[in-house]
Amino acid sequence: MRNVPNYHHSYFILFIIILFLAFSVYASNFSATESLTISSNKTIISPSQIFELGFFNPDSSSRWYLGIWYKIIPIRTYVWVANRDNPLSSSNGTLKISDNNLVIFDQSDRPVWSTNITGGDVRSPVAAELLDYGNFVLRDSKNNKPSGFLWQSFDFPTDTLLSDMKMGWDNKSGGFNRILRSWKTTDDPSSGDFSTKLRTSGFPEFYIYNKESITYRSGPWLGNRFSSVPGMKPVDYIDNSFTENNQQVVYSYRVNKTNIYSILSLSSTGLLQRLTWMEAAQSWKQLWYSPKDLCDNYKECGNYGYCDANTSPICNCIKGFEPMNEQAALRDDSVGCVRKTKLSCDGRDGFVRLKKMRLPDTTETSVDKGIGLKECEERCLKGCNCTAFANTDIRNGGSGCVIWSGGLFDIRNYAKGGQDLYVRVAAGDLEDKRIKSKKIIGSSIGVSILLLLSFIIFHFWKRKQKRSITIQTPIVDLVRSQDSLMNELVKASRSYTSKENKTDYLELPLMEWKALAMATNNFSTDNKLGQGGFGIVYKGMLLDGKEIAVKRLSKMSSQGTDEFMNEVRLIAKLQHINLVRLLGCCVDKGEKMLIYEYLENLSLDSHLFG
């Protein structure tokens, strides 16, 4: 069969190419002559296909929103919503570029959301583009650098902070305060009750609000984390930064490794949390979150009180202070604590050092990052309004100085983390503390001396008791290791007291039962040499390698202790070169044993009688 060209197949490929070119604008951007509609189900995808922008309706509701989500992550995770408080009520919606603005129109062609850019001189056409780090920008079509951005979604966060996104005050972007605001519920992206805001007065820090009430504060930036977030430990793939100057006071972070996705979000329940996508588990892992417990609640323990989750009650007064009202709960922020003694302000006041603390509310503070802790203390003592001081940066041993000039609110103690806080107290309260410390030290020394004297008296009494004990309980050392017990097995010229209370002196050494038990492997049958009418003979070995033979007399023998000792004395006097030498004896734990030197070649009866 002849090969005939397949023209239909060629036309089909050409059609696909033309179709791809026609819709390629939706891969990352679109121009003023194009639009994005709900009905066509078209989306804009970032160049590396990490993020996607389009219309969505959560939980199959009738409300439609324009948003950005992770395309590369299988679990739909929204990071930005445009018209969160002005949803489309039907599936007929359009995103267009109109008069150099991005505008969302409803089914009646009425605008429901716009970028609201006014003024400016843009002569060339504008284009909208979704960048690889999740920023949706409206820019000059001939300038794709940040200087050409007319508007960007990063300036208008919703509930999520992405890598390279800023949270806080930025004068370069119009002087507005970028905040996070939670979703109303997990299925409703409209503005919820919780939000984050930055206070720039004093030592700047972020606050979480529930509507108009403060529920939590981040604490000031300490060089590598916020004071109230001890769990915000640096990780190798995230670089945290806090910038404070005349142009901006902002927090941001950067994920410095590819294929790692991490976000900071404010949940619908008011939790500020760090989430990182775990590819192996196919889920988001929570690295840290705040607030965690009652002690994270704002002003939980009132003025000059601090919260400790490990105490009961959890609220405590700083040393040098006492509860304002003993009958009232310290958790009432209108109560708190008061000074025991008024400050003198004449240089005699001192400071109580509180370790592992969250710094107090920094609204009424002054900061000098150019001096150290010693100079900070001196400056605080010179001002009568100064109530506390601390370092501004905890890295490399600490640096900088922050001074409080008013009340000390919202302090807490951490089991791990936190930093040192120095609270000013009157000299009288410091002296009381020193006297108390001296009393404790004196009492401790007295008790220690008493215990030592008691031990010495007991030791001498015990030795005296052992010297007067009968031969049935041989003299032993109070404390011995096993090695020293074996090495010092033989003790020469020991005395014993008989039943007639006469003291005799043996030239033959007494040996201890524990040592003989160890030498014979606890009188193992494997060490048995023979057996006679009066007992069993065992082979033994001392630690120095010397071999011995231990004759363990039978407990059934009617021979008494005095009779046994007389016999031992007699055998000791009959030492001869042709007789097996008696090395010692043992009378202990109801046992009577004779210790001979060990000789090879079996016993005499085996040679006589075969």
Read off the pLDDT of residues 215-240 as tens digits, 9 standing for 90 and up. Answer: 999 999 999 999 999 888 888 999 99
* Lowest-confidence pick of 6-15, 140-149, 249-258: 6-15
pLDDT at 327: 57
Is the per-residue pLDDT at 119 higher than 70?
A: no
Is the per-residue pLDDT at 32 higher than 90?
A: no
DSSP string, 551-596: EEE-TT----HHHHHHHHHHHHHT--TTSPPEEEEEEETTEEEEEE
pLDDT at 486: 42
What CATH number has the domain spanning 482-609? 3.30.200.20
In the structure encoding, which two tokens stand for residue 389, read together? 């001081």
Q: How confident is the model at residue 513 (pLDDT cuts 50, 70, 90)?
A: confident
pLDDT at 554: 78
β pairing state of 35-37 and 388-390: unpaired
The structure's pTM equals 0.66
Kind plus residue range of the DSSP H or E element containing 549: strand 547-553
Highest mean pLDDT among 133-142, 275-284, 541-550: 275-284
**Average pLDDT value for the chain:** 83
What percent of the chain has a predicted confidence (pLDDT) above 70?
Answer: 80
pLDDT one-digit tens code per residue, 290-312: 999 999 999 999 999 999 999 99
Q: State how far the Cα of 299 lies from the Cα of 214, in Å rounded to an integer.
A: 9
Q: State how far the Cα of 403 lies from the Cα of 405, in Å rounded to an integer.
A: 6
Q: State how far the Cα of 448 lies from the Cα of 453, in Å rounded to an integer.
A: 9
Is the per-residue pLDDT at 471 higher than 90?
A: no
Residues 6+ apart with CB under 8 A from 141: 31, 124, 125, 126, 127
Radius of gyration in angstroms for the set of CA atoms belonging to the chain, rounded to a whole number: 44
Section 41-46 average pLDDT: 92
* Lowest-confidence pick of 208-212, 307-311, 508-512: 508-512
Higher confidence at residue 210 or residue 581?
Answer: 210
**In whole angstroms, how far apart are CA 498 and each of 31, 302, 307, 472, 561?**
118, 80, 72, 9, 8
Is the per-residue pLDDT at 603 higher than 80?
A: no
pLDDT at 259: 93
* Lowest-confidence pick of 143-157, 227-241, 310-324, 431-445: 431-445
pLDDT at 417: 86
At 526, is the secondary structure helix, strand, or coil? helix
Decide whether 25-156 matches 482-609 in CATH topology.
Answer: no
Is the per-residue pLDDT at 574 higher than 80?
A: no
Section 551-564 average pLDDT: 73
CATH architecture of 25-156: Orthogonal Prism (2.90)
pLDDT at 26: 47
Residue 96 in marked binding region: no
* Of 137, 172, 166, 168, nearest in space to 253 by CA: 166
β pairing state of 337-339 and 305-307: unpaired
Is the per-residue pLDDT at 566 higher than 70?
A: yes
In the structure encoding, which two tokens stand for residue 372, read together? 């150290």
pLDDT at 39: 85
Highest mean pLDDT among 148-162, 482-496, 573-587: 148-162
Is the per-residue pLDDT at 436 higher than 80?
A: no
* Lowest-confidence pick of 132-136, 258-262, 503-507: 503-507
Q: Which amino acid is at 588?
A: D
Question: Cβ distance 335 to 325 under 8 Å?
Answer: yes
User: In the chain, count of helices (H) and strands (E)?
Assistant: 7, 41
Tell me whether residue 183 is exposed, middle or buried, using C-beta atoms within 10 angstroms of its C-beta: 0 to 12, 13 to 18, 19 or more. buried
pLDDT one-digit tens code per residue, 414-425: 988 899 999 999
Kind plus residue range of the DSSP H or E element containing 456: helix 427-467
Per DSSP, what are the bridge partners of residue 196? 208
Section 348-364 average pLDDT: 94
Q: How confident is the model at residue 132 (pLDDT cuts 50, 70, 90)?
A: very high
Question: What are the boundaries of each domain within the chain?
Answer: 25-156, 165-292, 296-425, 482-609
Q: State how far the Cα of 606 lies from the Cα of 85, in Å rounded to an integer.
A: 112
Is the per-residue pLDDT at 146 higher than 90?
A: no
Is the per-residue pLDDT at 270 higher than 50?
A: yes
Is the per-residue pLDDT at 435 higher than 70?
A: no
**In whole angstroms, how far apart are CA 305 and each of 92, 267, 374, 518, 567?**
58, 29, 25, 65, 84
pLDDT at 13: 41
Q: State how far the Cα of 280 lies from the Cα of 496, in Å rounded to an integer.
A: 79
In the structure encoding, which two tokens stand for residue 379, read together? 């400056």
pLDDT at 334: 58
pLDDT at 2: 37
Is the per-residue pLDDT at 400 higher than 60?
A: yes
pLDDT at 19: 39
pLDDT at 599: 82
HSE toward the beta carbon, residue 563, CA cutoff 13 A: 4
Q: State how far the Cα of 107 lies from the Cα of 120, in Å rounded to an integer.
A: 30
